Amino acid sequence: MSTMTYEQAMEQFDPVFGIEVHVELNTATKMFCGCANEFGAEPNTQVCPVCLGLPGSMPVTNQKAVESAIRLGLSLGCQIRESSRFARKNYFYPDLAKDYQISQYDEPTCFEGSLDVVLDDGTVVTVGIERAHMEEDAGKNTHVGGTGGIQGASHSLVDYNRGGVPLVEIVTKPITGAGARTAEVARAYVATIRDIVKALGISDGRMEQGSVRADVNLSLRPKAAAGEDQDAVPFGKRSETKNVNSLRAIERAIHHEAARQAELLLAGQPVIQETRHWHEDTGSTTPGRSKEEAEDYRYFPEPDLLPVEPSREWVEELRGTLPEHPAKMRARLKEQWGFSDTDMRDAVNADALDLIAASVEAGAKPQAARKWWMGELARTANDRDVPLRDLPVTPEHVAELQSLVDAGTINDKLARQALEGVLAGEGSPREVVESRGLEVVSDDSALEAAVDEALAAQPDVLAKIQDGKIQAAGAIVGAVMKATRGQADAGRVREIILQRAGVEG
């Protein structure tokens, strides 16, 4: 186990990193066949001769996927190649139906881009994009028996539903100069990609379902001596950590790898250039295949497909459909909504920005929308261990709930109960308020009776109020609220108490 910390590693070494992000596109059908592209169906129900790789079958390119890839490429500032090709990446693996993956190799559709990433403190880091290319996903192996891994399993099952799902792989150029902020930059970069694909509407951007996945390359090199150029120091050997599938995990994986490599280097041992697997539970990586024994993928142009040749007119037309950059959009929303830096950061980190925006769109005030999503709902999501957006609550519900509060129909406490009902699937906030009888008691005669009863029960308090100690009225308000099970309007109750006591508020 590493005794080195990330901070210690950063004091002694200069990190260089790169990230490969795989984005699963949300096209209706798969990359090269007509099967549905949906998550979570029964195994091997979304398959056909093409994505099962049956003898004789042939791929046909999904034009919607090409459109999505080009829009993504344009959002990353990439150039769009006038003619690009698919290639076959050959390797044997049971989840790869044809035993080759159709990908792009020497002629990716999108190349040479750059993306501005805004850190929490407003620092802007420009990340160079090497390429963004299209490919198909593989199926999924499940190992039965043993501990769930391939070691010790009695047999393995393959689900080809995911086989052929369209992916765009975005590869950065080596990123240097981030120093101790490397983990932060990496996280912000992936978050930005996630926000872009969601804003483009080309992917649901859900990291927990694997629709945005990251592989993190990291190497360390000695810090340049004072006065010398850090860029003149050659890169060290890198590791590639696969399948780092949450923003937090990206930071943790970089922390771990930097510390691990630093410890090796300081002990005079080499870093092996290899693929490593990320373990969420232990926060550590273990070696996979080392590059030395890595397979030769024998790439060659896919002869079953024609080149991708988007017309310039079409590319320009697509450029016209691009949404604003997430950082710009955030700055605009922050301004419009009057959020603090902290409000904004929390909302982004909770992946709640679009939920808040949709709630505002539905009529809620920005602060109210933030309060519900980042408070009660964030807590519930956390308790249930599900993403915020998977709660059975819509932005429209939140707007409706707040409108009921604003109209005085319910108070905050009742609103929380109404929300409980919504979360329990009892219907919309309005429906829950009705079915549970949650309206604020606004009938003065009922309130007066309750006040009289409370005052009669606590004559000493009445005396104090009449003596001018108006704050003592709180005890009576509490008693009335209790008696009405919280459904009274506390302000109105207070007015009645003062009235009855014969003093003016």
Partner 1 sequence: MSDIVDWTRATAAQMAAALQAGEITSVELTQAHLDRIAAVDTDVHAFLHVDTDGALATAREVDAARAAGESLPPLAGVPIAIKDILVTEGLPTTAGSRILEGWVPPYDATVTRKIREARMPILGKTNMDEFAMGSSTEHSGYGPTRNPWDLDRIPGGSGGGSAASLAAWEAPLAIGSDTGGSIRQPASVTGTVGVKPTYGGVSRYGAIALASSLDQLGPCARTVEDAAYLHEVMGGHDPMDATSLNEPVPSCVEAARQGREQDLTGVRIGVIKELSGEGYQAGVEQRFEESLEKLKTLGATVVEVSCPSFTYALAAYYLILPSEASSNLAKFDSVRFGMRVEKATIEKTMGATRAEGFGDEVKRRIILGTYALSAGYYDAYYGSAQKVRTLIQRDFAAAFEQADVLVSPTTPTTPFKLGERIDDPLAMYLNDVATIPANLAGIPGMSLPSGTAPEDGLPTGFQILAPAHEDARMYRIGAALEKALAEEWGGPLASQAPELEVAE
Q: Residue 342: is it exposed, middle or buried by C-beta count within 10 angstroms (0-12/13-18/19+)?
A: exposed
Give the separation between CA 257 and CA 215, rounded to whole angstroms. 13
Among 11, 99, 361, 453, binds partner 1 (CB under 8 A): 99
CA 34 to chain centre: 28
Question: Could you tell me the end-to-end alpha-carbon distance of the chain, in angstroms, rounded to an integer?
Answer: 67
Say if CB 257 and CB 218 are below 8 A apart: yes
Give the separation between CA 26 and CA 37, rounded to whole angstroms. 7
Give the separation between CA 496 and CA 148, rounded to whole angstroms. 67
Among 208, 304, 390, 444, binds partner 1 (CB under 8 A): 304
Q: Is 142 an interacting residue with respect to partner 1 (CB under 8 A)?
A: no
Nearer to partner 1, 36 or 306 (CB): 306
Nearer to partner 1, 60 or 386 (CB): 60
Among 25, 31, 97, 132, binds partner 1 (CB under 8 A): 97
What is residue 25's DSSP assignment?
-
Binders of partner 1 in range 147-166 (CB under 8 A) = 156, 158
Q: Is 146 an interacting residue with respect to partner 1 (CB under 8 A)?
A: no
Among 298, 469, 482, 485, binds partner 1 (CB under 8 A): 298
Shortest separation between residue 278's beta carbon and partner 1, angstroms: 24
Q: Is 437 an interacting residue with respect to partner 1 (CB under 8 A)?
A: no
Shortest separation between residue 288's beta carbon and partner 1, angstroms: 16
Shortest separation between residue 69's beta carbon and partner 1, angstroms: 17
Assign 315 to helix, strand or coil.
helix
Among 79, 90, 209, 230, binds partner 1 (CB under 8 A): 90
Nearer to partner 1, 235 or 300 (CB): 300
Here's the x/- map for partner 1, 42-71, by CB under 8 A: it reads as -------x--xxxxxxxxxx----------
Shortest separation between residue 297's beta carbon and partner 1, angstroms: 8
Q: Which residue has the tokens 């769109």?
A: 361
Assign 254 to helix, strand or coil.
helix
List C-alpha distances in Å: 126 to 189, 219, 285, 325, 334: 9, 19, 28, 13, 22
Q: Is 94 an interacting residue with respect to partner 1 (CB under 8 A)?
A: yes
Of 383, 384, 360, nearest to 372 by C-alpha is 360
Shortest separation between residue 430's beta carbon and partner 1, angstroms: 50
Chain length of the chain: 505
Q: Is 92 an interacting residue with respect to partner 1 (CB under 8 A)?
A: yes
| Residues forming the site for partner 1 (CB under 8 A) | 49, 52-61, 88, 90, 92, 94, 97-100, 156, 158, 296, 298-300, 303-306
